[in-house]
């Protein structure tokens, strides 16, 4: 397993003093985004179900269940009280529950929970925060989808379907509000290393035959032309650029960051 990537962030304008909300920010991509934007001078609020430890200075944490309408409303109220408003919204929260025995075994509950977290959380937060962005003359929104939105990967079709819906919704939002100074873009990550993935891929072959999860991951990594999973900080650098002034003419776009693994141009 490769060592974690360390990047030297480029200077980005327009982030100092900006008020940012990052969902799913206790670990992985969300935590890396919160850290990157705070380092650029933004005031960051991040949210997740579970408390986040050792967040950097300038990052506020709010515990919130964004799989419910009530949780989304409470987050917007708390974040606004903390920092006075939101200039940049990073809709990063997401998770899937693979059906136990294939797609036909996906219950209504699985579909409902997947859509609530991966689609409707973003819809609700956008709907609550956009009016004040418009009143202030502009803002930036990022929706973190997945390469699965373009081509289902693995057994979790409900997750891929929800992310595909989020992608289409995001493009519609970008088109409708571009004239009001709101920029909306999408990020579609491929396989991004987290603690669980790193542990599985780091297992030595002399410990015995690899389990099904490890075998699936190894096959996925083997199909990545750059030869490794991505690192959260690499996604964070892309997101930081897209919400900065350097990306002022970019909206309605989808950026795949997947090490070249997607099979189509």
Asked whether residue 83 falls in the same domain as residue 124, the answer is yes
Cα separation, 142 vs 104, whole angstroms: 32
Q: What is the pLDDT of residues 50-83, one digit of tens each?
A: 877 788 887 999 999 999 999 999 999 999 999 9
The verdict on residue 203 lying in a domain is yes
The pLDDT assigned to 167 comes to 98
The pLDDT assigned to 54 comes to 82
Cα separation, 147 vs 220, whole angstroms: 13
- Output 51-60 pairs: Cβ under 8 A, ≥24 positions apart: 51/26, 52/25, 52/26, 52/27, 55/31, 59/25, 59/34, 59/35
The three-point CA angle 98-258-51 to 5° equals 60
Q: What is the pLDDT of residues 24-59, one digit of tens each?
A: 999 999 999 999 999 999 999 999 998 777 888 879
pLDDT at position 154 over 90: no
Strand ranges in the chain using DSSP code E only, listed in sequence order = 19-23, 43-48, 59-63, 88-91, 139-144, 182-189, 254-257
Asked whether residue 124 falls in the same domain as residue 218, the answer is no
Asked whether residue 187 falls in the same domain as residue 220, the answer is no
The three-point CA angle 157-255-159 to 5° equals 15
CATH of the domain at 72: 3.40.50.720
Cβ count near 191 (within 10 Å):
20
The answer for residues whose C-beta is within 8 angstroms of residue 101's C-beta and 6 or more apart is: none
Asked whether residue 215 falls in the same domain as residue 117, the answer is no
The pLDDT assigned to 194 comes to 78
* Strand order across the beta sheet in which 139-144 lies: 59-63, 43-48, 19-23, 88-91, 139-144, 182-189, 254-257
The verdict on residue 13 lying in a domain is no
Quick one: CA dihedral 98, 99, 100, 101, positive or negative? negative
Q: What is the pLDDT of residues 217-247, one digit of tens each?
A: 778 788 899 999 999 999 999 999 999 999 9
pLDDT at position 204 over 50: no
The pLDDT assigned to 97 comes to 82
Instruction: Report which of residues 154 and 161 the model is more confident about.
Output: 161
Q: Which residues are catalytic?
A: 159
The pLDDT assigned to 203 comes to 58
Asked whether residue 82 falls in the same domain as residue 202, the answer is no
Q: What is the pLDDT of residues 162-180, one digit of tens each?
A: 999 999 999 999 999 999 9
Asked whether residue 59 falls in the same domain as residue 104, the answer is yes
Q: What is the pLDDT of residues 118-141, one digit of tens each?
A: 999 999 999 999 999 999 999 999
């Amino acid at each position: 397993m490769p060592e974690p990537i360390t990047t030297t962030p480029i200077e980005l304008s327009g982030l100092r003093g900006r008020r940012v909300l990052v969902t799913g920010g206790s670990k992985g991509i969300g935590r890396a985004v919160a850290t990157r934007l705070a380092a650029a001078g933004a005031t960051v609020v991040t949210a997740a179900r579970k408390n986040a430890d050792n967040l950097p200075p300038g990052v506020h944490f709010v515990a919130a269940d964004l799989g419910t309408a009530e949780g989304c409303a409470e987050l917007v109220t708390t974040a606004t009280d903390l920092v006075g408003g939101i200039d940049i919204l990073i809709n990063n929260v997401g998770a899937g529950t693979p059906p136990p025995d294939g797609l036909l075994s996906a219950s209504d509950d699985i579909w409902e929970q997947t859509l609530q977290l991966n689609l409707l959380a973003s819809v609700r937060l956008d709907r609550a925060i956009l009016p004040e962005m418009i009143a202030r003359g502009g803002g930036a929104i990022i929706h973190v989808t997945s390469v699965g939105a373009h081509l289902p990967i693995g057994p979790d079709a409900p997750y891929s379907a929800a992310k595909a819906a989020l992608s289409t919704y995001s493009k519609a939002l970008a088109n409708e509000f571009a004239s009001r100074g709101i920029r909306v873009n999408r990020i579609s990550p491929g396989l991004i290393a987290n603690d669980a993935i790193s542990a599985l891929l780091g297992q030595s072959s002399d410990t015995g035959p690899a389990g099904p999860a490890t075998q699936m991951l190894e096959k996925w990594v083997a199909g990545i032309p750059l030869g490794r999973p991505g690192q959260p900080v690499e996604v964070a650098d892309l997101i930081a650029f897209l919400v900065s002034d350097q990306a002022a003419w970019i909206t309605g776009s989808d950026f795949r960051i997947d090490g070249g693994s997607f099979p189509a141009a």
